[in-house]
Amino acid sequence: MADWPAGGTGEMFKLVHQLPEQLRAAAQLEGLASLQAPDGAFDRVLLCGMGGSAIAGDLVQPLVQHQPVALDVHRDYDLPHWVDSRTLILAASYSGNTEESLSALAEARRRGCPVIGITSGGQLAAAAAGEGGEPFPRVSLPGGLPPRASLGYGLGALVHVLGRLGLVEEAAEQVAEAADVLAGLNAARLAPFGSPPQGEATPEDPAGMASAAAVAADLQGRVPVLYTVGLPARGVGVRFKGQLNENSKIPACLAVFPELNHNDLVGWELAETDRGRFVLLVIGEPQANERLEARIEVTRNLLAVDLPVVHRLLPTGRGTLARVLSLVQFGDYVSCHLAALKGVDAVPVTRIQQLKDHLARL
């Protein structure tokens, strides 16, 4: 076992390490075996959630992009105007008490939408049991974790649910492969904290990609700029930014190729004194579209003066889910290494709790 820092940051390292175990355990979650498709047809699926619960929807979207039924993610109160009784609602809240998700759920029930809940308990579990209306199916997640550290359970549950609905092919096999790939990567990415910050890339990391510890060392005292390439990397970028925010307690910038070439690119005409204060992380595998790859290369050259430190983060594995989650796990480790370098506790999210306390008094 790696020599982790003491305290909450060490605990978060261990939780990141458990991601493949959570994925494997997701197949046995209560409620999955008895889950059936809702009565009647549905035209699209809307996952309603926030934070660590919503990100599972973003990460799974590449698995359903070629299906006739779209999967969208809703991060807000109420519901979009187009949602009706032919929209399947996946109400996802790890705690079961996320107020935005509960608001969307209440509106979904008012509109007669079929609902499936994914939660560890709380008001969402009570609603699934029939409180306030008709009961609906629920997949039960183990409780007691920081929501962002329960991703393996929540995402695994979502993939299995979508598999039962016929929207993800070979769902169990994809989850199993992803778990195997992440377990194989753990040995490399769990190098003890304090290892050489510019250590050589390991055989498990593709294309000479720097270790998570080395990337974290480059980020210390700087602001990360995340540029994602391709649909599978978009959810990874959202997750990576959130982990840097919550675990490392730092801000981060996020933009998407090729859209960023039409706006974000111009924002990096920095004063000389500000150059070098940011690190560019280009996330995603090389693309078949040659014009897009050309844009990435030209963009890196144009920003070389303002963003001299650059890492290209590439996935590992065969299947789409494994490749997506290999990048997620890498980003999770980077955020923990950076927390340790800064000497901050990765677990507490004090500002979020302060916000909730203030809202509770309104």
pTM, entire model: 0.93
Assign 188 a pLDDT band (cuts: 50, 70, 90): low
**Encoded tokens for 129:** 């049991």
Kindly report, residue by residue over 18-44, the tens digit of the pLDDT.
Answer: 999 999 999 999 999 999 888 778 999
Is 249 tagged catalytic?
Answer: no
- Residue of 17, 74, 241, 246 marked catalytic: 246
For the CA atoms of 149, 312, 61, 57, the dihedral, rounded to the nearest 10 degrees, stands at 20
| Cβ neighbours around 142 below 10 Å, total | 14
**Encoded tokens for 89:** 């609602």
- Residue of 262, 290, 297, 358 marked catalytic: 262
Kindly report, residue by residue over 233-292, the tens digit of the pLDDT.
Answer: 999 999 999 999 999 999 999 999 999 999 999 999 999 999 989 999 999 998 889 999
Contact 88, 118 (CB under 8 A): no
Kindly report, residue by residue over 87-126, the tens digit of the pLDDT.
Answer: 999 999 999 999 999 999 999 999 999 999 999 999 999 9
**Encoded tokens for 352:** 């979020």
Contact 264, 310 (CB under 8 A): no
Q: Which long-range contacts (CB under 8 A, 24 or more apart) does 65-73 make?
A: 65/231, 67/167, 69/42, 69/43, 69/44, 69/45, 69/167, 70/44, 70/45, 71/44, 71/45, 71/46, 71/47, 71/162, 71/167, 72/44, 72/45, 72/46, 72/47, 73/46, 73/47, 73/49
Is 356 tagged catalytic?
Answer: yes
Is 241 tagged catalytic?
Answer: no
Interatomic CA distance for residues 279 and 309, integer angstroms? 5
